[in-house]
Structure 1
Amino acid sequence: MTTTKLFARLAAATLFVAGLTTAAEAQVRRVPVRPAPTYSSSSATDGVKFGIRAGVNVADFSGDAVDTFKDFAALGNGALTQEMKPGFYAGLYVTLPLGPRFAIEPGLGYSEKGVRLNGRIPFEQFEFLNAKLDGTARLAYLDIPILAKAYITDGLYVYAGPQASLLLSGKARVKASAFGFTAYQNDFDIKNRLQTLDFAVVGGLGYQFQNGFGLNAGYDYGLVSLDKNNNFDIQNRVIKASLNYSF
């Protein structure tokens, strides 16, 4: 085989390989490149989610009865203060997506509510005793909220909706002390004096992380007077903060 023929065959083989390479590159260019899927921290884009949550309540009462009680104490020269009562909150929920940014979230939870009132006995002749009064109402409810959630950005959302609450127990404690020691204490069962059902409007905001954990905080605004006999007007007010986990 002459040098000329050998060179010609090598050139032809080179052109053939080059043609194959060009065709392969053209085929790669024709296949669209799909971006890697991204995981959104928004539960509204990830299908139905179940979850658990637990946290704390800071509860209070509002209404004419509380104001009247304070006014009466002031007329008697008593220094009465109303304090928010801390409590425990825990529950279950399910997040049902309605679109990329909206979801409905029904739930079920145990919630401790109530209020604390304290002050001094309004009689000058007993001032040397440093006599004080303390009253605490401790109410336990089964909360059933149905919330609408709107995601502002991935993870960050606001929520609002109605809530029905079933009264599980109602206790009141009255305590009197003098010289720093408890002189009198009595506990009362007040469940039969209170409405069995309470209704509220709730709202708040939260953040859901990609690992399933989340944080939220909100406010419950009670709409129903708690007195079963309608002798006084008083409603629940609750601030909630909790940690949740969706799976």
Structure 2
Amino acid sequence: MKKLLILLFAFGLFGTANAQFGIRAGYSSSNFTDFGTDPLAGFHAGAYYNFGMGFLSVEPGIQYSQKGHVRIADTGTPAVKNDRLNYVDVPVLLRVNFLPFLNVFAGPQASVLVSRTLEFEDGNTDTSTEPIRGWDLGGVVGVGAKLPLGINAQVSYDVGFQSVNYYNQDVKNNVLKISLGYDF
């Protein structure tokens, strides 16, 4: 047991020696699976902590992310213009650094629904989060590049693993994200 604790301490100490804290923000395009709607443009912003040992690194993070869809394909009255769901995402990514400037990544992501804005064509809005599950589990895959001056760029895709139970319909969040970040 003592050896295991020493090994974990040494790993943590070594990992933090190569750690980088950073911020990231960018454009999001989200939609639900199998729902007959158009993607909704939004944004995401947050922070991350990357620690690793050269070829592999682990990057937990936290970010605010807008998800949702545009125009439900129905004839309901009044017609829905768009439905914006605001989440706090907590991804834990494993990065594989192929070259000093290029990496690919994947990992799980937990999300918590914090607010919602449902806009109707007649100008009215609804902010109730009751018709939607309050949490979501998914995965993230993507590719990133390190640029000069501590700047990084990445393209990622968030895939929902479970239904968000949107008005008792089996739909999942899917989000394309294009981001710029800065390592401190």
TM-score bracket for the superposition, by shorter chain length: 0.7 to 0.9
> How many corresponding residue pairs?
168
- Structure with bigger strand share is 2
Partner SS, residue 71 of structure 2: strand
CA distance in 2, matches of 1:199, 1:167: 11
Match among 50, 54, 59 for residue 95 of structure 1: 50
Which residue in 2 is equivalent to 1:53?
24
Which residue in 2 is equivalent to 1:127?
none
CA distance in 1, matches of 2:170, 2:116: 17
Task: Note the C-alpha offset of 1:210.
Answer: 3.9
Partner SS, residue 195 of structure 1: coil
- Structure with bigger helix share is 1
CA distance in 2, matches of 1:221, 1:199: 9
CA distance in 2, matches of 1:105, 1:216: 13
Q: Work out whether 1:105 is the aligned partner of 2:51.
A: no
Give ranges in structure 1 of 5+ residues lacking alignment.
1-43, 71-81, 123-131, 176-183
Task: Note the C-alpha offset of 1:135.
Answer: 2.4
CA offsets per residue over residues 81-129 of structure 1, 9 Å max, x none?
Answer: x2211101100000011x221100000000001100167969xxxxxxx
Task: Note the C-alpha offset of 1:161.
Answer: 0.2
Match among 78, 86, 96 for residue 140 of structure 1: 86
CA distance in 2, matches of 1:50, 1:133: 44
Task: Note the C-alpha offset of 1:211.
Answer: 1.7
Which residue in 2 is equivalent to 1:204?
142
| Contact 2:44 2:65 (8 Å CA) reproduced | yes
CA offsets per residue over residues 173-226 of structure 1, 9 Å max, x none?
Answer: 121xxxxxxxx3321123112111101111000101242101001100011211
CA offsets per residue over residues 17-74 of structure 1, 9 Å max, x none?
Answer: xxxxxxxxxxxxxxxxxxxxxxxxxxx9x811000011010011113xx2xxx5xxxx
Letter in structure 2 aligned against 1:142: V
What's the % identity of the aligned pairs? 32
CA distance in 2, matches of 1:164, 1:121: 34
Which residue in 1 is equivalent to 2:6?
none
Matches within 5 A, 1:70-219: 70=36, 82-97=37-52, 99-117=53-71, 133-175=79-121, 184-219=122-157
Give ranges in structure 2 of 5+ residues lacking alignment.
1-14
Structure whose alpha-carbon radius of gyration is higher: 1
The TM-score normalised by the length of structure 1 is 0.63
Question: Runs of at least 4 residues of structure 1 off by over 3 A?
Answer: 118-122
CA distance in 1, matches of 2:56, 2:157: 20
| Contact 2:112 2:134 (8 Å CA) reproduced | yes
Match among 161, 165, 171 for residue 234 of structure 1: 171
Aligned Cα root-mean-square deviation (Å) = 2.3
Q: Assess, with a 3 A threshold, how the Cα gap between structure 1 residues 210 and 185 changes in structure 2: closer, same or farther.
A: closer
Partner SS, residue 164 of structure 2: coil
CA distance in 2, matches of 1:190, 1:226: 15
Q: Assess, with a 3 A threshold, how the Cα gap between structure 1 residues 119 and 148 changes in structure 2: closer, same or farther.
A: closer
